[in-house]
Amino acid sequence: MIRFHISMTALFSMLMSFLLSVSQDIAPLIPPQQIVPQSFFGMHIHHANTSTPWPSVPLGEWRLWDAYVTWPYLEPHKGQFRFSTLDAYVSLAHQHNTGILLPLGLSPSWASARPLEKSVYQLGSAAEPKDIQDWRAFVRAVATRYRGQINAYEIWNEPNLPQFCSASVDQILVLTREASQIIHDVDPSAVVVSPSATETKGLAWLSEFLAKGGGEYVDVIGYHLYVNPQPPEAMVPLVQQIRQILANNGQASKPIWNTEANWFSPKPFPSEDLAAAYLARSYILNWAAGVQRLYWYAWDNHGVQVATTQADNRTLTPAGRAYRTVYQWLAGAQMTSCQQDANHTFICQLNRDSSSQWIVWNPDGTHAFNIPTAWHIASFTPLLAEPYTLTSSLTTIGPSPVLLTPNR
C-alpha cells in the first residue's frame, strides 16, 4: 500500500481551491423585463436605533430579523405590548424612504406550546403557540398599529430547521392562514411572505407547504438562498428548483424573495476582495434568476464571512463598497440577458437610457477576455476601483465583476 503524506493545512487549501473554483454550467437566464427597482436591494440592520448609524449606501428594504422586534420582544407578557423599538425603526425607515419586512415568528414563553424547549433564542421560541387566539391577537395588534407603515410581513424564519421552528408543516400552515387573513383584512396593501425555508434541505419543506395549500395564503414565496461554502453561482440552480416546486403546485406566478443571504464558511474566508465579489455576484445573479428582492444579512453583523462594515458599524469593508457599486450598476437599468460562455465567463447585458452596458466576470479565476468590437467599449470599471479608459479589446477578467461601458 502506498501512503501519501499531506498536511491538514494543505488539504484544506486544496479543498477550498476546488470549492471556490468549480463552477456549474448554467443555462442562459431570463431576467425580469422590468427595470431593477431600488426595492431589490434589501438589508438587515440589527442595532439601527442604538450603536449603528444609518447606512451610507442606498437601502431599498429592511428586514427586521435579529433586531429585537419578534413576538417575544413585542409582547413579553400576555396583552402587554412594548412597541417602542419597532416604533423607532418604523420612524427611521420612513425618514429614509425604506420599506420594512417584519418577520412575525418565534413564540414568547408564555404563549409557547413547549415553553421549556431549547431553541436558538429563548426557551420555547421555536414552538408554535399553544392557543391560536394568542397568535391572532398578536398579529392583529401589530397589523393595526402599523397599517400603511409596514409594507410586508413574513410568517416565520427558517421553518425547516428545528432550532428555529419545531412546529409541523400543518401547524405552520394554520399560523400562515390566520395571519394572512388578519393582515389582508386590516391592511389590504400589505404583502404577506411565506415562511422562508433555507438551503437545499428546505426544498422538501416548501414542497409540502405548497402541496397542502400554503400558496393560497401568501403573496410572495420567501427563501434563504444560503449555499455556503459554494460560490454565488450555486444560488441559480437552487432558484430553479424553487421555481419548479412552485410550478408543480400551481404557484408559478408567485414572486420569489431571497430574504436572507451571506456566507458562514469557508472560515477564514480567502480574501476581502473575494468577499466583495461574492456579494456583487449574489445581487447580479439573483436578479438574473428572477428573484425580486435580496436582503443581505447583515449590515452590522461581524460574525458572517461577508461583512459589509467594520467594527464601528459605519466604515465600509470591500464588501460594503461592492454593495454600493452593484447598486449603482443595476438600480434603474434593465438586464436584457445574462449567460455563461464556454469558458464559464458570465456576461450580463444591461440597458440604461437606451445604451447597453455589460457586467462580466469569471468565477473560476483570471482569464483573458476579448471584448467584442460591436460593443464599442471605452470604459472599464472594476468592482472596487475607479473606471479607466481601455486601449485594447483584449483585457483580463476574474472573480470580481467589472462593468464595460461603450462610447456615448
Q: What are 379-408's pLDDT values in tens digits?
A: 999 999 999 999 899 999 999 999 999 987
Closest CA to 254 of 293, 224, 212: 293
Q: What are 335-391's pLDDT values in tens digits?
A: 999 999 999 999 999 999 999 999 999 999 999 999 999 999 999 999 999 999 998
Domain total in the chain: 1
**Amino acid identity, position 194:** S
Q: Is residue 378 in some structural domain?
A: no
Q: Is residue 340 in some structural domain?
A: no
Cell of 219: 403573496
Q: Give dist(CA 367, CA 399) in Å, integer.
A: 9
Q: Give dist(CA 115, CA 110) in Å, integer.
A: 7
Count Cα atoms within 13 angstroms, Cβ side, for 104. Answer: 30
Percent pLDDT > 90 in the chain is: 92
Q: Give dist(CA 97, CA 108) in Å, integer.
A: 31
Cell of 30: 431570463
Closest CA to 86 of 106, 98, 99, 70: 70
| Contact of 152 with 101, CB cutoff 8 Å | yes
Residue 101 predicted with pLDDT over 50: yes
Q: Give dist(CA 143, CA 81) in Å, integer.
A: 13
Q: Which helix (H) or strand (E) holds 71?
A: helix 71-74
Cell of 64: 427586521
**CA 316 from chain center: how many Å?**
19
Strands 99-103 and 61-63 turn out to be parallel
pTM of the full structure:
0.93
Cell of 133: 387566539
Q: Is residue 392 in some structural domain?
A: no
User: Residue 231's domain is classified under what CATH number?
Assistant: 3.20.20.80
Residue 1 predicted with pLDDT over 90: no
Q: Is residue 407 in some structural domain?
A: no
Closest CA to 105 of 148, 84, 145, 74: 74
Instruction: Concatenate the DSSP letters of all residues of 286-329 into one string.
Output: HHHTT--EEEES-TT--SSSS-SB-TTSSSBPHHHHHHHHHHHH
Q: Give dist(CA 77, CA 69) in Å, integer.
A: 14
pLDDT for 26 equals 74
Residue 23 predicted with pLDDT over 50: no
pLDDT for 2 equals 29
Helix 318-330, helix 272-288: angle, nearest 10: 30
In total, the chain counts a number of residues equal to 408
SS3 label, residue 128 = coil
pLDDT for 28 equals 74
Contacts of 290 (CB under 8 A, 6+ apart): 29, 30, 31, 32, 239, 243, 256
Q: Is residue 2 in some structural domain?
A: no
Cell of 39: 426595492
Residue 309's DSSP bridge partners are 316
**Amino acid identity, position 223:** Y
pLDDT for 172 equals 98
Q: Domain range spanning residue 173?
A: 35-333
Strands 41-44 and 61-63 turn out to be parallel
Please state the rounded mean pLDDT for residues 100-104.
98
Strands 221-224 and 402-406 turn out to be unpaired
Q: Is residue 41 in some structural domain?
A: yes
Q: Is residue 386 in some structural domain?
A: no
Q: Is residue 263 in some structural domain?
A: yes
Residue 208 predicted with pLDDT over 90: yes
Q: Measure CA of the first residue to CA of the last residue in the chain; give whole Å.
A: 67
